[in-house]
Amino acid sequence: DIQMTQSPSSLSASVGDRVTITCQASQDISNYLNWYQQKPGKAPKLLIYDASNLETGVPSRFSGSGSGTDFTFTISSLQPEDIATYYCQQYDNLPLYTFGQGTKLEIK
Amino acid sequence: QVQLQESGPGLVKPSQTLSLTCTVSGGSISSGSYYWSWIRQPAGKGLEWIGRIYTSGSTNYNPSLKSRVTISVDTSKNQFSLKLSSVTAADTAVYYCATAYEGSNAFDIWGQGTMVTVSS
């Protein structure tokens, strides 16, 4: 099975900061990676698909990059409403989808 | 815009079968090329994909749960369902239904989730 390792597991940042989360796959997954935002008590929301494509309606301060085994998710200027847990998800090993363990983002 | 809504018992006894239904509104479950999935999340933990059913009725399951999972579709009711047998406390979680277009494999529509507790 493909393992997805996210880091850090938690992160504290100030409003306006640039925030970066990484996701590492245990093997090459090309660009078969998505990113989700989950706010407390809510379902996850798709932000980035195919590693770098912004889902319709998602603010442009969110971005993704990477391919192969190393991926990065970035918030260019942190806003208070961005407080959430972020997950990566791979789909290279279909039909099995696996998620990273999540990164909890808090305001400093 | 397609919307999903989970329903089912919030409490299931150990060794029994957990049964949940996801109702699709705003579109037909049998139109288009969509995979209809179940995903769960224990309290304070990450997301685990359980399995999916395609518009045609074909299914795929997470190997870790495959022996206990059945996903089915009822096109007449525009619903798909999850059955998880022989449940234990480890199956206590919020259960989500979600959908992904065949060509994308990104879960772009989710239900709100339903909490299921396994306890006697």
Answer whether A50 sits within 8 Å of B106, measured CB to CB: yes
Taking the C-alpha atoms of residue A90 and residue B105, their distance in angstroms, rounded to an integer, is 9
Chain A contact for B36, CB < 8 A?
no
Residue B56 has a pLDDT of 83
Q: For strand B3-7 and strand B59-61, is the pairing parallel, antiparallel, or unpaired?
A: unpaired
Taking the C-alpha atoms of residue A99 and residue A71, their distance in angstroms, rounded to an integer, is 13
Taking the C-alpha atoms of residue B83 and residue B69, their distance in angstroms, rounded to an integer, is 6
Question: What value does the mean pLDDT take over residues B87-102?
Answer: 95
Question: What value does the mean pLDDT take over residues B73-84?
Answer: 96
pLDDT score of B32 more than 80: no
Residue A95 has a pLDDT of 84
Chain B contact for A98, CB < 8 A?
yes
Q: Please return the burial class of A78, using the count of CB atoms within 10 Å of its CB with bins 0-12, 13-18 and 19+.
A: buried
In B26-110, the DSSP E strands lie at 34-41, 48-54, 59-61, 69-74, 79-84, 93-101, 107-110
Answer whether A45 sits within 8 Å of B96, measured CB to CB: no
Answer whether B107 sits within 8 Å of A44, measured CB to CB: yes
Residue B104 has a pLDDT of 81
Tell me the chain A residues in contact with residue B49 when contact means C-beta distances shorter than 8 Å: 96-99
Question: What value does the mean pLDDT take over residues B60-69?
Answer: 96
Taking the C-alpha atoms of residue A53 and residue A12, their distance in angstroms, rounded to an integer, is 26
| pLDDT, tens digit (0-9, with 9 covering 90-100), for A54-94 | 999 999 999 999 999 999 999 999 999 999 999 999 998 88
Residue A27 has a pLDDT of 95
Taking the C-alpha atoms of residue B78 and residue B63, their distance in angstroms, rounded to an integer, is 27
- CA A20 to chain CA centroid, nearest Å: 9
Taking the C-alpha atoms of residue B18 and residue A29, their distance in angstroms, rounded to an integer, is 34
Peptide bond preceding A95: is omega within 30 degrees of 0, i.e. cis?
yes
pLDDT score of A24 more than 80: yes
Answer whether A98 sits within 8 Å of B107, measured CB to CB: no
Residue of A37, A97, A98 best to disrupt the B interface, most CBs of B under 10 A:
A97
Answer whether B105 sits within 8 Å of A46, measured CB to CB: no
Residue length of chain A? 108
